[in-house]
Structure 1
């Protein structure tokens, strides 16, 4: 992580005041949360509508372990007896500090964006690259205008590769993040329906995701989902300095799976580029595509395909991404409750529908958020797309998911579909239907907190 004297931190962050009497104070790391401050941290307060972090500055320096803090110029009475750096805007100062620090590091960067699969692909890419390099990756979902700077500032000086997830909610955000990270390779996992509420169309989402190319270093690699027409159309006349590589399910891509063999906890697969058989300990064919993207990035940075099985063997995904566990009655549970869109929900349902070895398959589906004016239609279509011969019961939670239930009843019938507005009631009813030969999929947007249903099944 960043570790420098205060005088240098002030210069990098655009400090406006004289900090000479505190010039040698050592700063080690950065925090924006008073609850998570570690010894030596620089505390960055934000002036918000409800609360102002500046009121905590004196306490975190005197008693909380922070060695210094930023202070926004328009906030009155900065403490002159403490190591405080006055800046025009604390958010911009944090970002500029991260930019300066990143530019001082000699490291390769992989940037990852997409509507679905960003975090899973990030985890896979980092694991594959760790077979050759010292790697750091975005922690959790630290992928926005605050999270990415904090991720950069946590990078150790001897780190050789950083894998950075880049999220967005509106146009221009990824352009800012990619120019901050300056990636050597970028991955666009797919274009889905997430953020339709903000951007209005899949075309606009594709344009926003493609902003990641604007920060690519010269002769860098652009890896994108070649089965997505919106990406193909926009990149077919690409004239930049990057190298284009596609991955996908079809043979028209540069990299595609030739054979897939489902296993109990993952898949074996072969590809068109190498004779090796790979074992991916993650369920779902869509995750094989995420793996292909990660493999292209790792190979570009010098990790041979022959070493990649070692990287997959130690793979641990971020929580609630196709997380397989067991319930109290011996049922198997797939917890994919971190996020959801129609694309990812249909992929997860397809996975469960085609799994063998289970006598009963149950879907627990919650609301998919941020889908815009057609949100009810998207939910209804999830229900009507089900195969009654491959799914036994459907439980839904949330107002929007009532449309899933309505569509599902047309396919499965009234007696196999249950809609709830209360998670506890859902969980109690669900327990009546599970056996040790049952597989349960739990899937929804993060805001629905459906992991509570998983926890209930495990008790």
Structure 2
């Protein structure tokens, strides 16, 4: 992580005041959260809609171990007796500090964006690259205008490759993040329906995701889902500074699966490039596509296909991404409750529908958020697409998911579909239907907190 003197930090962050009195104070790491403060941290107070971090500056320095803090110029009464750097805007200063630090590092960067699969692809890419390099990756969901700068500032000076997830909620955000991270390789996993509420169309989402190219270094690589027309059409006349590589299910791609064999805890597969057999310990064919994207990035940075199985074998995904566990009655539970869109939900349902070895298959589905004016229709389509011969019961949670239940009842019948607005009642009813021969999928947007249902079964 960044380790500098206060004088150096002030210069990098655009400090406005005279800090000579505290010039030799040592800063180690940066935090914007008083609850996660570590000794030696620089505290960056952010002015929020409900709280203002400036109210905690004195406390974190005097009592919680912070060595210094930034202070926004328009906030009155900066504590002059403490090591404080005054800046025009603390968010901008944090970003500029990260930019300066990143530019000082001799490091390769992989940037990853997409509507679905960013975090899984990040995890796989990191593991593959770790077969040759010292790697750090975005932790949790630190992938926005605050999270990515914090991720950069956590990079160790001996780190050789950083794998950075780049998220967005509106146009222009990924361009900013890409120019901040300056990637050598970029991956666009897919274009789905997430952020339709903000951007209005899948075409606009595709344009926003393609902003990741803007910060690409000379002779870098652009890896994208070649089965997606919105990406393929936009890149067919690309004449920029990067090379193009595609992955996908169709044989038109540079890398595609030739054979897939599902196992209880993952998939074995081969690709069109060579005869090697790979085992990905993650459920779902869609995750093989994420693995293919990661393989192209790793190969570009010098990891051979022969090394990749070792990277797959040690893979541990971020929590609540196709996380397989067991309930108290021996039922298997797939916890995919971190996020959801129609694309990812249909992929997860398709996975469960085609799993073998279970006598009962149950879907627990919650609201998919940020889908815009057609949200009810998207939910209904999930329900109406279910195959009654492959799914036994459906439990829904939330107002929007009533539309899933409505569609599901048309396919499965009234007595196999249950709609709830209370998670505890849902969990109590669900327990009546699980046995040691049951597989349960739990899937919803993050705001629905459906992991509480998973905990109730365990």
Interval containing the TM-score (normalised by the shorter chain):
over 0.9
Would you say 1:41 and 2:30 are equivalent positions?
A: no
**SS of 1:144's equivalent?**
coil
d(CA) in 1 for partners of 2:129 and 2:380? 41
Query: What TM-score do you get using the length of structure 2 for normalisation?
Result: 1.00
Q: CA deviation at 1:431?
A: 0.5
**Residues 381-420 of structure 1: CA distance to partner in whole angstroms, max 9, x if unpaired?**
0000001100000000000000000000010011110100
Q: Match of 1:446? A: 446
Deviation at 1:50, TM superposition (A): 2.0
2:371 is matched with which residue?
371
* Structure 2 SS opposite 1:419: strand
1:346-396: CA deviation from partner (whole Å, max 9, x where unpaired): 000000000000000000000000000000000000000001100000000
Gaps of 5+ in 2: none
Q: Which residue of 2 aligns with 1:301?
A: 301
Matches within 5 A, 1:148-187: 148-187=148-187
SS at match of 2:395: strand
For structure 1, the residue ranges without an aligned partner over 5 or more in a row are none
**2: CA distance between counterparts of 1:295 and 1:235?**
21
Secondary structure of residue in 2 paired with 1:100: helix
CA distance in 2 between counterparts of 1:205 and 1:134 reads 33
- Corresponding residue for 2:313? 313
Separation (CA, whole Å) in 1 of partners of 2:150 and 2:7: 20
For the residue of structure 2 that corresponds to 1:369, the secondary structure is coil
Q: How does 1:317-328 map to 2 (within 5 A)?
A: 317-328=317-328
**Mapped partners of 1:454, 1:52: distance in 2:** 35
Report the secondary structure of 1:157's partner residue: coil
Where does residue 394 of structure 2 map in the other structure?
394
Look up the match of 1:249.
249
Q: Distance in 2 between matches of 1:333 and 1:58?
A: 47
Q: Deviations over 1:59-90 (max 9, x none)?
A: 11111100000000001111111110000000
CA–CA distance in structure 2, aligned partners of residues 212 and 123 of structure 1: 19
- Number of matched residues? 458
Corresponding position of 2:190: 190
TM-score (norm 1): 0.99
Counterpart Cα distance in 2 of 1:87 and 1:61? 18
Matches within 5 A, 1:264-279: 264-279=264-279
**Secondary structure of the equivalent of 1:92?**
helix
Which residue number corresponds to residue 75 of structure 1? 75
Q: In the alignment, what sits opposite 2:15? A: 15
**What's 1:100 paired with?**
100
Q: Structure 1 residue 241: deviation in Å?
A: 0.9
In structure 2, the residue corresponding to 1:258 is in which secondary structure? strand
Q: Which residue of 2 aligns with 1:281?
A: 281
Aligned to 2:122: 122
